[in-house]
Amino acid sequence: MPTPAFRGRPAPNGNTRHRVARGSARNLRPRRAVRADRRKRYAGPVSADAATAWRDALDSWAIPQEILDAAPESPWGCPVELFARRADTPREPTPTDLRAKEALPDGGTVLDVGCGAGAASIGLAALASHVTGVDGSAGMLDAFRERAGAAGVAATTIEGMWPDAARRTPSADVVVCSHVVYNVPDAPPFARALTNHARRRVVVELMSVHPVSNLNDLWLRFHGLRRPTEPTADDYAAVVREMGIEASRADWVVRDWHGGFSRPEDLVAFVRRRICLTPDRDPEVWEAIRERVVERDGTFGLPPRPNVTLWWQGTAD
Ligand SMILES: C[S@@+](CC[C@H](N)C(=O)[O-])C[C@H]1O[C@@H](n2cnc3c(N)ncnc32)[C@H](O)[C@@H]1O
């Protein structure tokens, strides 16, 4: 265990299966007195239409200003290291990989929106003549270019936020967008721009529940704050349906570990940043998460969660 500062080890696990210890009830107990006004449970979106309900539900994840003001750094943001490892870790083809591959002609082109280091598209490189990565983060695009180069596929990167960046982005045979949509309150223009950039197919992957909802018990424990549980993949599917798009859907669980942090301290720092605590709280954060930490092939992470793949017909010429 390379963390003398934190007591105990994560649940050990073998090379091919995750063994995850369940968190104990003790871990879920709030650490200190809780202000009554923070204990309100989010009642769910009240909006009539699916797109507004999606936006309202995402808005409900806003962190109270006093917690943000006291946080030493922004709780948002995606570490390049995490997504680089995700892109580098070999895996059994997922439904997302398979649905993208079957629509991609030999020598076809791929557009990866919110590409990160390319976890959703670099695996298609052997079939493709060109991949384009769009991302708001320059660091992610560096990692994407590096991996496209190593895979021997021609690549273009476009720094910018989708759908604004769509105007500068060429269409492709297949458009993939993996683990991005929970960042996007205004879902219809985003999905529309994916659709009109795909000649053959759009493939969207998202978690079945909000990606940071696995930290909800920690918010309660450390801040006395009850976090929302919506929106979900069902809500996103409803938005797409409301747009008149006929999407197919696969629900699946991750069979392979898709990357994590190389040191438990880095996982703890990541979680601590996400829940707006200062570094001196790291031992307490470790204590709160250690029973659920998954260790595999020298990486440390929280248990993988169910995913949903949605795919539909593109409309680009
Ligand atoms: C959770 S990561 C997923 C990365 C990669 N697709 C994967 O599956 O590993 C989300 C990525 O989307 C990018 N991103 C989020 N919203 C975006 C937007 N509206 N336009 C472009 N990139 C966006 C972030 O910078 C980040 O690299």
Which ligand 1 atom is nearest residue 83's CA? 9
Confidence (pLDDT) at 13: 36
Q: Which of 78-87, 146-155, 246-255 has the highest mean pLDDT?
A: 146-155
pLDDT digits (tens, 9 = 90+) for 82-137: 899 889 988 889 999 999 999 999 999 999 999 999 999 999 999 999 999 999 99
309 DSSP β-pair partners? 205, 250
Average pLDDT over residues 179-203: 98
- Phi/psi at 90 (5° precision): -60, 145
Q: Would you say 107 and 74 are in contact if contact means Cβ atoms under 8 Å apart?
A: no
Confidence (pLDDT) at 67: 96
**Terminal-residue alpha carbon distance, the chain:** 55
Q: Write the CATH number of the domain with boundaries 26-313.
A: 3.40.50.150
Torsion, CA 209, CA 119, CA 261, CA 300, rounded to 10: 60
Structure tokens that stand for 1 in this block: 């265990």
For ligand 1, mutation pick of 97, 115, 158, 180 (most atoms within 8 Å of CB): 180
> Ligand 1 centroid to 91 CA: how many Å?
20
Find the range with the poorest average confidence among 14-18, 138-142, 169-173, 308-312.
Answer: 14-18
Does ligand 1 have an atom closer than 6 angstroms to the CB of 271? Answer: no
Q: Would you say 300 and 263 are in contact if contact means Cβ atoms under 8 Å apart?
A: yes
**Is the pLDDT score of 3 beyond 50?**
no
Confidence (pLDDT) at 177: 98
Looking from the CA of 301 toward its CB, the CA atoms found within 13 Å total 19
**Is the pLDDT score of 23 beyond 50?**
no
Angle value at C-alpha 311, between 306 and 317, nearest 5 degrees? 155
Confidence of residue 311 (pLDDT cuts 50, 70, 90): very high
> What residue spans define the domains of the chain?
26-313
